[in-house]
Amino acid sequence: MEPKILKEARQKAKAEIYQCIKKWFSEDEIKKDITTEFLGIGEKRGKLILFSKNAEDFIVAGVDFLKILFEEVQKILFKNSREKIKFRKLKSDGDIVKSGEKIAEIEGRMKVLFATERLNINLLSRLCGIATETAKLVSEAKKYGIEVCATRKTTPGLRFLEKYAVAVGGGNPYRFSLSSAIMIKDNHIIACGGIEKIREIITKNRKKSEKLRDVIIEVQKMIDLEEVLKIAKELKNISVMLDNFPRDSIGEAIKKIREFSHRENLKVLIEISGGIKPEKLPDIAELKPDRISAGYITSSPKIPDISADIIAL
């Protein structure tokens, strides 16, 4: 059975595809492909083959969405035709692709294939890159029982697609939007006048606060941790994010949180964020956090080399 978080991410990503289609197609002016028109091959039938030119293996993400793009271009360029494109998926999301292996084959009019070629490669490559980077981090984190979470450091307009790729890679998409959970970060604390003020606000609105699903509070220095633990005692549904916390005192902070949790019989989730990389995991694992959040898996993944061949039929 498909995990609930993956199913939710897929649904959001699919909806985002339809929201973005008009913008994407207008960028390439798909009705004005002067090269295909000049060569007089637009009406001919062809086959587009998507395959890996990447030296390293990577994980597929987003292949099911490609069919939507081809079908929508078909509707636009051949409005009154009942003809349909033939989409053959050779790899499914989550599969590993080796160099030279085919991912999908699409048959249709040349006009449709050339209009959609670059968009499909660009989108697929990015999502595969995110899924692959996530999977690498998850693979290491699993050794220590640590959950990997994404951040909101995503490409504008591609939030849900990129979060879906994270889920395919085995990570937790985490907050899809500002409405997903309350996350009180350093700028919120500054804007409110300090962590003590945050506690006052929560205490004042205690009845409302107790109904909150999850409250995440960022802590960057030890002095603020004491106040955050007082908040945890009141809310009982809090996560502490140690963001870019000083390495020499992060162990002490985690020990303090664990002792508090044991003493108060409360589960306070500990998240480490800031500069997370696979090579740093052994050091982080020694600290035994519950989860880590990494921005690079969506903001700067290594993009695999995916190419396309188009042949006449």
Per-residue pLDDT reduced to its tens digit, 191-236:
999 999 998 888 887 666 555 667 899 998 888 899 999 888 887 7
Find the mean pLDDT for residues 257-263.
93
Task: Please list, residue by residue across 113-140, b when 16 or more beta carbons sit within 10 angstroms of its beta carbon and e when fewer do.
Answer: bbbbbebbbebbbbbbbbbbbbbbbbeb
48-57, 101-110, 147-156, 282-291: segment of lowest average pLDDT: 282-291
According to CATH, where is 3.90.1170.20 located in the chain?
11-130+302-312
pLDDT recorded at residue 43 = 95
Specify the range with the lowest mean pLDDT, choosing from 41-50, 105-114, 124-133, 177-186.
177-186
- Look at residue 208 in the predicted model and tell me its pLDDT: 67
Where are the domain boundaries for CATH 3.20.20.70 in the chain?
A: 181-294
List the CATH code of the domain at 11-130+302-312. 3.90.1170.20
Fold of 181-294: TIM Barrel (3.20.20)
Least reliable range by pLDDT among 51-60, 91-100, 118-127, 202-211 = 202-211
77 within 8 A of 31, measured Cβ to Cβ: yes
How many Cβ atoms sit within 10 Å of the Cβ of residue 7?
12
State the residue for tokens 């390293």.
56
Per-residue buried b or exposed e for 295-305, using 16+ beta carbons within 10 Å of the residue's own CB = bebbeebebbe
β 291-293/269-273 pair status: parallel
Tokens of 144: 């220590």
- Contact at 8 Å (CB) between 108 and 133? no
Higher pLDDT, 83 or 123: 123
pTM listed for this prediction: 0.94
